[in-house]
Structure 1
Amino acid sequence: TQLRMCGPKGSAVDMNCSYTYPAEVHGKENIVQTKFWYVGRKEDLQRKSSSYEGRVHYDWHYDSDCTLRITDLRVEDSAVYKFRFITNLDKFSDAPKLPSVSVSPSAEIVEGSSVNLTCNGEANPAATYTWFKVNDRDPLSQTPQLNFSSIRSSESGQYSCTNALGNTSSSIYINVKYAPKFLPSVSVSPSAEIVEGSSVNLTCSSDANPAANYTWYKENEEQPLGPGSIYNLASISSEDKGNYCCKSENKHGQSSSFLFISVQYAPKLPSVSGSVSGEGSSVTLTCSSDANPAANYTWYKENEDSPKASGQTFTISTFVNWPQSDSVTYR
């Protein structure tokens, strides 16, 4: 069985190891004559290459001990290491066993729930376990169990259980599920002014696991506009202005955000009305139209190019006893 070991460059690593063998085989005494560690071809590491010279140590204090120590670790030391012993009757090779890791609950892990990671393994002497989060040097626990009383989404990741004596390790990935975080982020494109007739995209995004489903609504309307993180208004009209809602949802929860759309458009057909203040006084003309931004108004007398006035209202004074033939048209 292979194991994964790691250590900083320049440090030392121990592969804790022990072995047993029968004292007799078919009535014949079984005696260990040679034992060594090797990589690749079955050659003793201490004799294999000058690159290991002075760095490979066999600290064997008793007959069944086969611990390997490598000092001054180098990048080129990355390899699969195996132990081999030869008796007068047979030859044997093996590699240390990995610890096993398990998670409880074994089903889906949801943010806020209690989670336990457990490490077990065969070792002699008994193993001392340390838990790490991968890419984090600080140990999380030095017991066989690592407990999360209320697990957070930020605690998703790979966790490694290491036997401190042999540096044998196994890892497990924890995937924490959670509802959409905070309010969804909503945006509109183009981000500059939106003109009637242009194409407009509304975009919604949120942090959720599993990924959220999105639905768009217009404010005060029950029927959804459509699903998906992007909603397109292919040719936006002035009637499309207003608040839009994006609902972000997965099976663990939901949240919503609003976005206001202002549509700019040219003036619709203006309407003109007049009011007379009394004979011998004046008449006031008023012009109004639907436009965004608000329209500017200019008054002209029919068949004349020069403007008479500007502004939404135009007042004609001394409007007294005009003959009917003097009726005029203003625009």
Structure 2
Amino acid sequence: MSPSAGGLVVFLLSVKVIQSQDGWGVNYDQTDVCAAKGSIVFIICDYTHPPGIDPSDIKDRFWFTKEKDGEPVDLRTDSEYSDRVKHTCYSILKRCYLTITDVRESDSAEYKFTFMTNKPGEKYTGSPGVTLSVTDSGLQVQVRRLNSTWLELTCHSSCVLSDRAEYYWYKNEEIIKTGSSLLVSSGSTDRYSCYLRGSWDQRSPAVYGPQRPSVSVSPSAEMLEGDSVTLTCSTDANPAASYTWYKEDGTSDPRLLSEEPQLVFSSIQSSDSGNYSCTAENQLGRKTSDFISIDVKSVGRTTRIIHITRWTL
């Protein structure tokens, strides 16, 4: 079974919990379920009963969070879950699924499964049940620089999870490691993401260093001295990159001009001629663009024209 709803974020701690007595039992696939608001949640269990009881003897099976007058209240009749819950059971397998759509913070509760036969008083409830925690967000990768060479990536959940939670790490599209943290070298352009075992393959957003930034010029046609000219630096990176603009001035070290994505000349002059480059940087790495060369040339006493050329380092 796999969910198809867009934006689904569901995290399951897959540790089977078994409650049984004299042949009666409920086996939960999870002890803790962590979900983001608006997502879909699946809670699963198996149930057992003593030999001699035919499947047709099972009068009712359902999930509940509340009791009224000492009796469990079927979620399907609870107005707070109206049209948001679906209960599916397979009698031969003795396996039942509870699906909750568009989960809300108010859905955070302990969910239990109960079943009963057609004989008075013959029933069983699996207790303790499955604890659902609903939060605003799901898994995120946090980046911490250890030194100039190494970074530590940590898979972080907004839910409070058991120490037995199992995390898996992806490098691009390949699983490379288990554990809540991962060491990677600085400057890598590989994409790293994590997920929690049993999370229906819903991963955290990937983190990665910037690609080589590109530079665009506006306006791109010929421009007269005195016109407004804007250079824009852009790249793909997560976390978002910060930008720095430089101009070569004939020394070994380029001159820093700006720490913004755009370099704006409100009235460009011939003295602005030169070679420009930009650098994009985040916690995972740093990349520098190709040079762009701007040459402002005189074409008369009062008129000058700008020529733009590009060259690669």
TM class by smaller structure: 0.3 to 0.5
> Which of structures 1 and 2 has the bigger CA Rg?
1
TM-score under structure 1 normalisation?
0.44
TM-score, scaled relative to structure 2? 0.46
